Chains A and B, each alone.
Chain A
Amino acid sequence: MTLGVAPRARIRRDTWTQRAHLPWALEVAAGLGRGAATVDEAVARAELEARLGGLRDALQGSPYYLRTLREAGLHPGDLQRLEDLRHFPALDRATLARHWEDVPTLPTASDECVVVKSSGTTGDPVNVLRDRRDCLLMWAVLRFFTERTGTVPPPRPRVVLLDALPGGLEYSVRLPLFHDGALHRVSVLRDDAVARLQRVRAAVVFSDPEGLRWLLAHPEVPAPRLVLTSAQHLPRALRDAWVHGRGVQVLNYYASTETGPLAWECLEDAGQGRFHVLTPDVWLEPDGDEVVVTRLRPSVLPLLRYRPGDTGTVQRDACACGFHGWTLTGFSGRGACAFHTPAGRAVDAWSLAWVFKHHPLRAFRLTQVDLERFTLELAGAPPEVVGPLCERLGAALRNLGWPSPRVEAREAELPPSAKPLPFHSRLPPPG
């Protein structure tokens, strides 16, 4: 096994500095709680519109938005109501990728900011500038999710990021923002993964479907109290196996690197496919057939009408689960694709997406043509990138269970689409 596939990660160790942000995290969680319980639409809209002032200020500090708005004869002051948003230009992923340095405002504390890459699902990863609170947001949202699911974390809860990706990255840090807990990233590829999980006794586990399947297959690992996943295609059987088989709540949320968490899938069995929007932190424009996000939470990266490339329709409703607010339905993000190992195991092809973000590519498509053979089609890739990419991809496939994968790269014209489908299998469906 080649566990050096992952590039070195820089892990922030000064976790005690999180404490200063605890009041903010509590307020975020409380705000989301209020947002999900506000029955009166006018009151909910007023709460959202009260946040437009902060967005207007942020737009004034963004060279990209100043230029774009001026070109369109607009100015931030025009944005007074949610209805006004439709008159503003949208920002798509490719444009953000091109202008990533110009979209952010000047951070108040530059040394607290980091640049992260989005998952590279377009073959053209986006650099995303994040401030400290952007980096910490998920822990504030986790507080809301635990409240929503009725999960009571034990004292000093351990949170595990269960990693089924082929990189094998692991680390442990303290997590003061989540009830003075700790965070462990555990790779299922390591030989001691089970022993480590038995020691850690995680209260909360984040993973993708691959990791959740692995964990189900290891009942000797103590069950967590809550499982979270941001898989856009969470198989129903897998969810049921956790919820009804193991008695553990599964919270499937919709997030992107650029925007942070946006919505969560209804917890009711009958509510599958209905994603409740995390207002008032974000606003997803209703009544269209494409996801258009305006981030209302302050950030170094103002996002006005951002189009992540996903489709779905947002409408206000009162859900049987007790949620009041805006719900995304008909959501189709990434196209699901499973590759099959020679041993017959199905692997979520998206677990390889991570490999691509480390290479400058315009577009790609990886196709499984037979059990050990893959075709990698690349559009406009610099020649010096192709060799290292194939090498890294081969190592990742070996880690995932292919003993001797062959990756054949070739230049190709790939048709543009709203959301690319970069993984494809030509194997006949099993059974």
Chain B
Amino acid sequence: MAVSIAKLREQLAASPIVSPYPHDLAVAIVCDTFRMASQKPPSQSEWAKLEQRVKNPLFREQVGMLAHVLVSSELRKKSVLYLTADRTPLARLQQFFEEVQPLTAEMVRSNAFRQEEFLRKWVAALGADIEGETAQESKSRLNALDYRQAVADLRKVEEARKQEAERRLKMLQEAQQKEAEARGWRE
């Protein structure tokens, strides 16, 4: 029953996305997935609210990519098995779209790591197991892949590097200034 990430990726590689899905079609595919699990999908107004809440210009292309990975692999069939009544569809979708926040459709399409991250984050929103991994291993892998966290960390690292470079430049300039001032006395 567990989800095989490797198998999903093979299936997606075999059915590459040719053109972006229209938003309404993508929403319909996601909604149908919930219906297949006998769950009431979010209404049109709830989708609109969700879009407002996540405040992400990439939201629509992410919905399109979710629809694509659902219909182009066995992910939809697996998702239906894990869509239990303990969480509402809206809660799952909100978790998922918040977590994939910086991922563009192009990244999910062409970047092996971001595609894996996208798939794993949907699997995490489902609460599903991943084939051949313990829950802890899956969590560690997701943390290693987390692009949102990595971008935030890298921004901090870059800022620290800039500050250090500026500090060194200032020290160098001060040393040169001191040397220039001292030279007047020696000559």
Q: Which residues of A contact B (CB under 8 A)?
A: 60-61, 63, 66, 70, 72-78, 80, 84, 87, 106, 110
Q: Choose from A61, A63, A74, A110 the contact partner of B113 (Cβ within 8 Å).
A: A74
A78, B165: Cβ atoms under 8 Å?
no
B158, A73: Cβ atoms under 8 Å?
no
B111, A75: Cβ atoms under 8 Å?
no
Stretch of B43-51, B66-74, B142-150 at the chain-chain interface: B142-150
Q: Choose from B104, B144, B154 the contact partner of A73 (Cβ within 8 Å).
A: B104
CA distance in complex: A87, B145 (Å): 14
How extensive is the interface on chain B, given as a class? 20 to 34
* Residues from chain A with Cβ under 8 Å of B146 in the complex: 77
B158, A77: Cβ atoms under 8 Å?
no
Within 8 A of A (CB), among B97-133: 103-104, 106-107, 111-114
Q: List 6 A-B contacts (CB under 8 A).
A: A73-B103, A77-B145, A77-B146, A78-B145, A80-B144, A84-B113
A60, B154: Cβ atoms under 8 Å?
yes
Find the B residue at minimum CB distance from A88. B113
Q: Choose from B103, B151, B165 the contact partner of A75 (Cβ within 8 Å).
A: B151
Shortest distance from the beta carbon of A87 to any chain B beta carbon, whole Å: 5
Shortest distance from the beta carbon of A109 to any chain B beta carbon, whole Å: 11
Query: Which 6 pairs, one residue from A and one from B, show the smallest C-beta to C-beta distance?
Result: A75-B150, A73-B107, A78-B113, A73-B111, A87-B112, A60-B157
CA distance in complex: A66, B162 (Å): 13
With known contacts A60-B154, A87-B111, A75–B161 Cβ distance under 8 A: no
Q: Verify if B164 is at the interface (C-beta below 8 Å from A).
A: yes
* Residues from chain A with Cβ under 8 Å of B144 in the complex: 77-78, 80
CA distance in complex: A110, B161 (Å): 14
B111, A110: Cβ atoms under 8 Å?
no
A70, B165: Cβ atoms under 8 Å?
no
B154, A70: Cβ atoms under 8 Å?
yes
Q: Verify if B168 is at the interface (C-beta below 8 Å from A).
A: yes
A61, B147: Cβ atoms under 8 Å?
no
CA distance in complex: A421, B154 (Å): 41
* Residues from chain B with Cβ under 8 Å of A63 in the complex: 158, 161
A75, B164: Cβ atoms under 8 Å?
no
Shortest distance from the beta carbon of A176 to any chain B beta carbon, whole Å: 30
A106, B147: Cβ atoms under 8 Å?
no
* Residues from chain B with Cβ under 8 Å of A73 in the complex: 103-104, 106-107, 111, 113-114, 147
* Residues from chain B with Cβ under 8 Å of A66 in the complex: 154, 157-158
* Residues from chain B with Cβ under 8 Å of A72 in the complex: 111
CA distance in complex: A110, B113 (Å): 35
* Residues from chain B with Cβ under 8 Å of A110 in the complex: 168
Which of A72, A76, A77: most chain B Cβ within 10 A?
A: A77
A61, B161: Cβ atoms under 8 Å?
yes
Which of B111, B144, B150: most chain A Cβ within 10 A?
A: B150
CA distance in complex: A87, B115 (Å): 12
Find the B residue at minimum CB distance from A62. B161
CA distance in complex: A74, B117 (Å): 11
CA distance in complex: A74, B150 (Å): 9
* Residues from chain A with Cβ under 8 Å of B164 in the complex: 106
With known contacts A75-B150, A77-B145, A110-B168, A61–B104 Cβ distance under 8 A: no
* Residues from chain B with Cβ under 8 Å of A84 in the complex: 113
Q: Choose from A60, A75, A80, A87 the contact partner of B147 (Cβ within 8 Å).
A: A75
CA distance in complex: A72, B107 (Å): 8
Find the A residue at minimum CB distance from B107. A73
With known contacts A63-B161, A106-B164, A77–B150 Cβ distance under 8 A: yes
Shortest distance from the beta carbon of B10 to any chain A beta carbon, whole Å: 15
* Residues from chain A with Cβ under 8 Å of B168 in the complex: 106, 110
Shortest distance from the beta carbon of B130 to any chain A beta carbon, whole Å: 16
* Residues from chain A with Cβ under 8 Å of B107 in the complex: 73
Which of A60, A63, A75, A84: most chain B Cβ within 10 A?
A: A75
Find the B residue at minimum CB distance from A105. B161
A87, B151: Cβ atoms under 8 Å?
no
Find the B residue at minimum CB distance from A86. B112
Within 8 A of A (CB), among B140-187: 144-147, 150-151, 154, 157-158, 161, 164-165, 168
CA distance in complex: A78, B147 (Å): 9
CA distance in complex: A77, B107 (Å): 16
Find the A residue at minimum CB distance from B150. A75
Shortest distance from the beta carbon of A384 to any chain B beta carbon, whole Å: 30
CA distance in complex: A63, B147 (Å): 18
Shortest distance from the beta carbon of B149 to any chain A beta carbon, whole Å: 9
Shortest distance from the beta carbon of A387 to any chain B beta carbon, whole Å: 35
* Residues from chain A with Cβ under 8 Å of B154 in the complex: 60, 66, 70, 75
